[in-house]
Structure 1
Amino acid sequence: MPSPDAVPGGARARATVEAARWSLLVQFALFGVLGTSWMSRLPSIRTELGLSAGQLGSLLVVGGAGTLVAVLVTGGIVARFGSRTTLVAATTGNVVGFGLLAAATSTGNVALFAVGACLNGMSGALTNIPINICAAGVERAVGRAVLPHFHAAFSIGAALGALVAAAFAWSGLHVAVQLASVVAVVTVVRALLIVPATALGDGSAPASRTPRSGIRAALGAWREPRTLLIGLVLLAASLSEGSAGTWLSLAVVDGFAAREAVGAVAYGTFVTSMTVVRLAGTGLIDRWGRVVVLRASGAAALVGLLLFGLGPSLVLAWVGIVLWGCGAALANPVAISAASDDPLHAAPRVAVATSFTTVAMLAAPPLLGLLADQVGVRSALLVLCGAVVLSLSVAGQVRPPQESRTAL
C-alpha cells in the first residue's frame, strides 16, 4: 500500500489522515465518556427510580432495543447519507436522550427514563458504526494496525467518565446534574470534530453509495458466514466489556459492602487495564497476528472473571478486574478490523457484526439482573466465562483473507 507521500498531493493527504486520526481518537473518547459516566451511577439511578436489580436490568434492555433497531439500518444509512450526516443525527439524539434521562431521575419517572434510554441506544449505534468505519479507513491509509488505539481512546474516555461519576457521587450532587453537565460539554466538542473525523469518507466507492446498492449490500452481508462468525466474536467481547460497564460497580458495592465511589473506581481500574493493553495492542497484533492475540486475550479474561467472581477478598477480586480488563481489551478492535478488511463492503459488514453486540446488550441486562436477584451480582457475572469460551472457539475467523489464502 503506497504511503500518502508517495502520490501527488501526498503532504496534503497525510495532513488529512492525521487530522482524521486525531479527531476520531477524540470522538471515541467522548463516546466512552457518555456511556460510562451514567452507567457508573446505576446505584443512584436504581435508588431514584425505586427499582430492584432485576427491574433495573429489564429497564436497561429498552436501550438495547433502541440500538438493535438502529444497528439493523445503520449500514444502509451510512451507505446512503455518509458518516458525517449519520454522526450529526447521533449527536442530536444523544442531547435529547440524556435530557430525558436527567428529567426522569429528577422526577422518578420510569417511563420517561425508558424513552431516554431507547433514544440513547439508537444514537449509540448511529455513532459506533460510522466512527469504526472511518477508523478502519484510517488504518488502511496508515498501512498498519492502529484500530486498537481508537478503542484505547474509548477506554480512556470510559475511565474519565467513571472518574467523573465518582466525583459527582462523592460530592453528593444529584445524578441529573451530572447527566446534564456531561452531555453539554461532550456535545460541543463532538460537533466541532465531526467534519475532520469523517474527512476520509466511508471507504467505499462513490458508485456504491446509492439507496439501492446500500440496501443490497446491507442485506448481502447477512449471508456471509465469516461476517456472522466475526459477529460471534463481537458478541462475546460485548458481553464481557458491556457487562462490566453495567454491573461491575454494582457488583463491588453489593458484593463487598463498598461505597458507590469505590465501585466507580473499580470500573475505572477495569477500563484503565483495557487502555494499557489497547495502546500496546497494535505492536502485539503486528507481531503475532490477530488470532494469537485474540486467543491470549480470551485466556486472560477467563482467569480474571474467575478471580473476580470467586475471590474471597476485594484485593483478590481487584486482581481479577485487572486481568479481566486486559483480556477484554483487544477482542472488539480485532473483530471490527476483520469485518473491515474489504473497504467496499466495510459499512454493511461492520453493521452486521455489531448487531451481535446489540444482541448482547438486549440479552445480558435482564438475564444477569434476574440471576443477580438469586445469587448476587458478583456471582452472576461468572456466566460470562461461557462467552469467553465461545470467542476462543471462533477466533480463527478474524484471520485476514490474504493469510487464509496463503495457508491454503
Structure 2
Amino acid sequence: MDTPISRAQLVRWRTAVFAIFLASGLSIATWAARVPDIKSAIDVDNAQLGLMLLAGGIASILGVSVSSVVLARFGARRGMLGAMLLFGLGVAIIGFGATVFASPIVVTAGLLLWGFGNGAVDVMMNVEGAAIEKQSDRTILPLFHAFFSFGTVIGAGLGVAAIAIGMDVVTHLSIMAVVIVVIAFVSIANVPAREATLDVPGDAPKQTLRERLSVTLSAWREPRTYALGVIMLGMAFAEGGANDWLALGVVEGHGADAALGAAGLAVFSVSMTAVRVFGGPLVDRFGRVATLRVLAVTATVGLLLFILAPTVPLIFLGAALWGAGVSLGFPLGMSAAADDPAKAAARVSATATIGYIAFLAGPPLLGLISEHIGLLNTLYILVALIIASGLASPAARPIAGSTVGAGHPQPHRQHAE
C-alpha cells in the first residue's frame, strides 16, 4: 500500500514528470531538425536515409513492446532513468556519427539507441502520469502530453538557432544530450517510489520477477484493454498520419506550395497542443465519454473538410479541427486504463503499447496504400478509424470507485440544489 504524500511532494513529482515528457519531445526534435545536415554529412540518398529512420522507428516499437518487462523488473523510476540515459546517449552518437565519423552505421546505431530508449520511456512516463492523476483526482494526462509537444517545439527552435549560428551537428546534439541526462537525474530524484508504478520500497516484501511480470501482463487478458485500444488506435493512427502526410497532402493533394504545406502542419500541431493544455478541466466537467464522442465528431469533420476542401482557408480549418479532434484520444485512453490503482501500471502499459504501435507503424502503411489510390483518398482510412474510436468511447467510462474523468455538475446547479 502506498503511503500518503504531502502537497509539496506531489508538486515536485508532477513537475518532474512534466520535465520527462518535455525531454522525450526534445530528443525527437533535436536530431530531426538536423536531418538535412546529417544526410549531407554521411552522403546517403533518400532511400538509404529512409531505411535508417525506419530502423529507429522499429527500435521505438521494440522499446514500447518490452516496457512491460522493464516495469516488472525495475519499476518505473529506475526504468525511466535507464531509458532516458539510453536515448540521451543515442542523440549524442547520432551527432558523432554525422560529424566525427561520417558513418551511416554509427548514425543508425544512435537511432537504434534513441528509438529503443524513447519508446520505453513513453510507456513508463505515462504510467507515472496516470499515477499522479489518480493521486490528484483530476484529469491532467492531456497536460503532460502538451509538455511533450512543448519539447518538440523547443527542440525544433533550438535546432533552427544552432543552424543559424553555424554550430556543427556533433556540438549541437552533444549539448542537447547533456541537457537530457541532467533532466533525467534531476527529475527521477523527485519521483517518489510508489507501488502503483511498480516501484517496490526496499523494506517491502519482495515478489519474484515471474510474479511481477504476471501482474504486468495480466491486462492483455482483459476485454476492456482492447476496447480502450480501439479508442487509442484510431486517434494515434490519425495523429501519426497527420505528422507524416498532412503537409504532403496540402502540396500534392491540393496543389499548394511547400510553404503552405508546412503551415498546414503547424496549424494542426498548434490546435492539438492547445486542446491538450486546456482539455483536462473540460474532461472533468463533461466526462471522458462525452468528450471523446465530441472530439471524434470534430476529427471526422476536420478530416473530411481537409480532404474535400476547395480552398486553402478551408483546408486549414480542416487541419485545425483534425488536430483538435485527435488531441485527447491517447491521454484519455491511458487515463481510463489507470482507473484501478492496483492494476494501473499493467493496464496503462498495455493500452499505451497499442497506441504507440499504431502511431509509429500506421503512417508507413498509409504511404504504401497511397501509391495505389492517392494520398487524399487514403485519408478516408483515418476517417473510418476515428469513427470506430468514437463508437468505442463508452469503454473509457470510469469504473466503480473511480472519480477521475467522470464529469461533474455545473456549480450553479449545485447551489440550486
The TM-score with structure 1 as length reference comes to: 0.82
Per the TM alignment, residue 344 of structure 1 is displaced from its structure 2 partner at its CA by: 1.7
Matched, 1:120 2:118: no
Per the TM alignment, residue 375 of structure 1 is displaced from its structure 2 partner at its CA by: 6.9
The corresponding residue for 2:183 is: 189
Task: Summarize the alignment of residues 10-159 of structure 1 with structure 2, pairs less than 5 Å apart.
Answer: 13-39=6-32, 50-52=44-46, 59-106=52-99, 109-159=103-153
The TM-score with structure 2 as length reference comes to: 0.81
Q: Which amino acid aligns with 2:223?
A: P
> Does the residue aligned with 2:59 lie in a helix, a strand or coil?
helix
> Does the residue aligned with 1:197 lie in a helix, a strand or coil?
coil
Q: Which amino acid aligns with 2:74?
A: F
Task: Summarize the alignment of residues 319-338 of structure 1 with structure 2, pairs less than 5 Å apart.
Answer: 319-338=317-336
Cα separation, 2, equivalents of 1:103 and 1:43: 15
The corresponding residue for 1:300 is: 298
Runs of 5+ in structure 2 lacking a partner?
Answer: 407-417
The corresponding residue for 1:286 is: 284
Change (3 A) 1:231 1:301: same
Matched, 1:226 2:220: no
Runs of 5+ in structure 1 lacking a partner?
Answer: none
Cα separation, 1, equivalents of 2:171 and 2:318: 33
What is the CA deviation profile of residues 78-102 of structure 1, one whole-angstrom value per residue up to 9, with x for unaligned ones? 2331212111211121123223333
Q: Which amino acid aligns with 1:297?
A: L
Change (3 A) 1:211 1:199: closer
Contact 2:126–2:334 under 8 Å retained in 1: yes
Per the TM alignment, residue 13 of structure 1 is displaced from its structure 2 partner at its CA by: 1.5
Per the TM alignment, residue 173 of structure 1 is displaced from its structure 2 partner at its CA by: 6.2
The corresponding residue for 2:258 is: 258
Cα separation, 2, equivalents of 1:110 and 1:374: 31
Change (3 A) 1:66 1:322: same
Q: Give the aligned CA root-mean-square deviation in angstroms.
A: 3.4
Contact 2:59–2:112 under 8 Å retained in 1: yes
Cα separation, 2, equivalents of 1:209 and 1:253: 56
State which of 385, 388, 409 in structure 2 corresponds to 1:387: 385
What is the CA deviation profile of residues 25-81 of structure 1, one whole-angstrom value per residue up to 9, with x for unaligned ones? 1221222222234446666666776444x7765543323322332223322322331
Cα separation, 2, equivalents of 1:317 and 1:186: 37
Cα separation, 2, equivalents of 1:289 and 1:73: 32
Q: Which amino acid aligns with 1:257?
A: D
What is the CA deviation profile of residues 115-170 of structure 1, one whole-angstrom value per residue up to 9, with x for unaligned ones? 33332221122211221111111111112222222122222223333434455566
Cα separation, 2, equivalents of 1:178 and 1:370: 34
Contact 2:123–2:353 under 8 Å retained in 1: no
Per the TM alignment, residue 175 of structure 1 is displaced from its structure 2 partner at its CA by: 5.8
What is the CA deviation profile of residues 224-270 of structure 1, one whole-angstrom value per residue up to 9, with x for unaligned ones? 111122122222222122233344455557663325xx766654443
What is the CA deviation profile of residues 182-209 of structure 1, one whole-angstrom value per residue up to 9, with x for unaligned ones? 3332332232111213455644575585
> Does the residue aligned with 2:6 lie in a helix, a strand or coil?
helix
Change (3 A) 1:345 1:225: same
Cα separation, 1, equivalents of 2:83 and 2:364: 26
The corresponding residue for 2:411 is: none
Per the TM alignment, residue 327 of structure 1 is displaced from its structure 2 partner at its CA by: 1.0
Cα separation, 2, equivalents of 1:385 and 1:43: 33
The corresponding residue for 1:215 is: 213
The corresponding residue for 2:412 is: none
Contact 1:71–1:355 under 8 Å retained in 2: yes
State which of 341, 344, 347 in structure 1 corresponds to 2:345: 347
The corresponding residue for 1:238 is: 236
Larger Rg computed on CA atoms: 2
Cα separation, 2, equivalents of 1:347 and 1:317: 40
Per the TM alignment, residue 311 of structure 1 is displaced from its structure 2 partner at its CA by: 3.6
Change (3 A) 1:222 1:304: same
> Does the residue aligned with 1:82 lie in a helix, a strand or coil?
helix
Instruction: Choose 374-383 or 273-282, whichever is displaced more.
Output: 374-383
Cα separation, 2, equivalents of 1:26 and 1:337: 19
Contact 1:80–1:209 under 8 Å retained in 2: no
The corresponding residue for 1:368 is: 366
Contact 1:156–1:272 under 8 Å retained in 2: no
Change (3 A) 1:385 1:28: same
Instruction: Choose 98-107 or 277-286, whichever is displaced more.
Output: 98-107
Cα separation, 1, equivalents of 2:37 and 2:228: 36
**Bigger relative contact order (CA 8 A; separation at least 6):** 1
Contact 2:233–2:359 under 8 Å retained in 1: no
> Does the residue aligned with 1:145 lie in a helix, a strand or coil?
coil
